[in-house]
Structure formats: C-alpha cells, structure tokens
Amino acid sequence: MTMPDVLDNHIAAKRDRLLRLLRDYGRVAVAFSAGVDSTVVAKAAQLACGDSAVAVTADSDSLASGEREEAERLAAMIGIRHQIIRTEEFQNSDYLRNASNRCYFCKTELYTQMEGLAETLGVDVIANGANLDDRGDHRPGMQAAAEHSIRSPLIEAELTKAEVRELARQWQLPVWDKPASPCLSSRIAYGVEVTPERVARVDRAEQFLREQLGLRELRVRLEANELARIEIPATEVTRVVAADVREKIAVELKSLGFRYITLDLEGFRSGSMNEVLPLEKLTMIERP
C-alpha cells in the first residue's frame, strides 16, 4: 500500500469518527469563525445532523474585515443554518485590560450568549473548532469552553491541525489552506489596553499591507507606545526594506496613528505575542 493510501485511510477513519460524534450530539450549534477548523466542524455537523445543526458567528470590533462576509459565504456553500450574533466583550473591563488570559473573557462572552440562544436555535450541544494541537498551546479560551461544557469534536476525534486541513481539502472546502486568522485583539501586546480604535487601526494597516505586498500571511502587532511591529514571511523582508516600499509603508501607518514603525527580522510567526509570557507578569494597562 502506498503512503497516500495510508494517509487517506487514516483521515477517513477520523472523518467517520467525527461524523459519529456529531450525530450522537443530536442538535448542535457550532461556534463558527470561518477558519479552517470551525469550517470543518460546520461541514461535518451539516452532514451528520442536517437541519439540526446551526453555525453561529460572533461579530464584534475584533473581527477582521471580510471575515463576517466569508462566514456567510461558507455557511451558504455548506448548506448549514447560519446565525450571526453581536458579542460585547469590549464592555468587559477584564477583556480591555488585555492580560494574558484575555481570550478567556472573549470566549466566556461568546459561549454565554450561545447558551442563552440554545432554545431559540433548537440545539442541545455547543461545539467549537479546537483541534488536537491546541491542547499544547496557550489557549485561555479552552478554560472557558470547559466551564460551559462546550464540546470539541475535532479533539474527541483526535484530529491534528494538519489532518483538519487535509479533511477540508478532501471536502473541497476553499479554506483548506487559509492562514490562521485569530481576532484582531490578538495583535495587541499583553498589557496594552484593547480598544475599538486600536483594533480598527491594526485592521486598516493589515489591509493596506495586503494590498501593497500581495501577501496572504502577515501581522501588524501593536506594542507599547503605539509601536507597529510588522511580521511578514522572512523571504519578503528584502523587498519591503527597499526605500520606496519602506517609505510608503511608514507614511501610511503613521497616518493611521502609529508613532513608530518596525519590521520584525525574524519574520511572520503565529502566536509571537506569547513569547513574552514566561518573562513578564503582564498585569499593567497602558491607557490610550
């Protein structure tokens, strides 16, 4: 048997387990962000539960431009019921404080709202898109999930991130190779207060850079003192430091309200804000 056949059979077995799990859930609501993980769960829920499944997308100031529209397109393509709710994490001072457990308060807001809508939506179980690899990362949202009895079918089916992407590819989901797209608040350095103005500024900066550079993966990290730390693939650094490109980026980002513009020479890497966690207590708030 060739290696691709082994892989296909391996993925197929986990796919079947995922569908059985969701079928056993019965009536299920999927926390649906339009990322690859939650899209696979939404697709599986629709296959396993049909009209008894619904995808729920949270809309707030921390949602990047275009993500709500993509969620609507994907839900329509999958054929799953879709509900958009407005979450109010920015009304929570613990969230705004932006300590290293910020995500806990965001997910608590989301899951509390979904629980309150369970009867209206006609569901008994709420599921998220956490995969097996998430267990080894800094994920305060997993604590919120546990406290609200949220099921993680990808973890229960023992699917890794790579396997989720492969299953998405086999199901011909267009997000199978979509880069990770965490909320805009994740770009704000721990200890720097999260505000709607700051996340909107980061969003505009990233949209500008995508248009200028034609890149799929990049981050604009907002550090203390309104410093923008740009992360792009290391292979693109030479192009960006060219005088004309560098000047154009600096002018645009300063016009958005950043005071200092820097380029991270290590290049793009997901979760780079977490690199400081063992070193600092991260309890201070910087006021705008």
Query: Domain holding 112: CATH number?
Result: 3.40.50.620
Assigned domain for 282 exists: no
Task: Find the domain containing 257 and state its range.
Answer: 184-276
Specify whether 159 is located in the same domain as 189. no
Percent with pLDDT over 70 in the chain:
90
d(CA 154, CA 141): 16
To the question of pTM greater than 0.75 for the whole model, the response is: yes
Specify whether 98 is located in the same domain as 142. yes
pLDDT category at 2 given cuts 50, 70, 90 is very low
Specify whether 53 is located in the same domain as 156. yes
Please name the helix (run of DSSP H) or strand (run of DSSP E) that holds residue 127, with its range, or none: strand 125-127
Contact between 142 and 40 (Cβ < 8 Å): no
Specify whether 98 is located in the same domain as 237. no
Specify whether 102 is located in the same domain as 200. no
Specify whether 58 is located in the same domain as 142. yes
Residue 32, CA distances (Å) to 40, 45, 119 in order = 10, 11, 18
pLDDT (0 to 100) of residue 139: 80
Residue 234 DSSP class: G
Specify whether 25 is located in the same domain as 148. yes
Specify whether 50 is located in the same domain as 160. yes
Percent helix, percent strand, percent coil in the chain, to nearest 5: 55, 15, 30
pLDDT (tens digit, 9 = 90+) per residue, 180-201? 889 999 999 999 999 999 999 9
* Of 1-10, 112-121, 264-273, highest mean pLDDT: 112-121
How many domains, in total, are found in the chain?
Answer: 2
d(CA 143, CA 133): 16
Residue 193 DSSP class: P
Q: Is the pLDDT confidence value at 42 over 70?
A: yes
Last residue in a domain, options 138, 170, 202:
170
Last residue in a domain, options 170, 194, 217:
170
Specify whether 260 is located in the same domain as 124. no
CB-based contacts of 240-248 (< 8 A; 24+ apart in sequence):
240/213, 245/212, 245/213, 248/212
Specify whether 55 is located in the same domain as 132. yes
Last residue in a domain, options 148, 170, 192:
170
**Residue 106 falls in which region: left (phi positive, over 0), alpha (psi -120 to 50) or beta:** alpha
Specify whether 155 is located in the same domain as 13. yes
